């Protein structure tokens, strides 16, 4: 049975969201090339969002492939290479990129299996996110090592 190893749920909405990116892109000058609601490439995940949209992101690391959850109407699964294994949700305001949080997957230079789930929350009934939120996009990124 799959077990979650680590989790990070952003406590505040991210406005002017740009991407989820491996910190090596900024810190070490590594490349990122996003690959339609989500683009994935080495060191970057770029969900399609409305400009200025508020969203919440939850990141999870699992010991094996996590179970499916039919309550999420949109899902994408595939591979992603992360150079440092430390990712951050980025926002861009006034031409400047800001980190909102950092999630450490615990392994450098690794190709991960990734499932991205997305849904629009119209109320405060999603138990994995803060209760006071409404009318926002929710994203869950689930990482595990290939078998």
Per-domain residue ranges of the chain: 4-144
Residue 14 token pair: 């991210």
- 109-127 pLDDT tens trace: 999 999 999 988 776 677 8
CB 69 within 8 A of CB 117: yes
- 22-58 pLDDT tens trace: 887 777 766 655 445 688 888 888 887 766 667 889 9
Chosen CATH of 4-144 out of 3.10.520.10, 2.60.34.30, 3.40.50.300, 3.30.300.20: 2.60.34.30
What value does the mean pLDDT of the chain take?
Answer: 84
**Could you tell me the CA-to-CA distances from 34 to 30, 39, 111 in Å, in that order?**
13, 5, 15
Overall pTM surpassing 0.75 (yes/no):
yes
pLDDT, position 33: 56
């Amino acid at each position: 049975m799959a077990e979650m190893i680590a989790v990070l749920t952003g406590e505040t909405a991210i406005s002017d969201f740009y991407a989820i990116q491996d910190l090596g892109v900024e810190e070490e000058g590594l490349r990122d090339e996003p690959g339609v609601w989500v683009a994935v490439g080495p060191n970057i995940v770029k969900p399609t969002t409305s400009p200025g949209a508020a969203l919440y992101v939850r990141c999870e690391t699992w010991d094996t492939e996590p179970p499916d959850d039919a309550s999420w109407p949109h899902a994408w699964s595939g591979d992603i290479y992360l150079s440092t294994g430390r990712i951050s949700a980025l926002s861009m305001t006034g031409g400047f990129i800001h980190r909102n949080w950092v999630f450490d997957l615990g392994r450098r230079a690794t190709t991960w299996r990734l499932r991205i789930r997305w849904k629009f929350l119209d109320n405060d009934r999603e138990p994995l996110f803060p209760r006071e939120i409404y009318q926002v996009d929710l994203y869950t990124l689930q990482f595990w090592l290939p078998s």
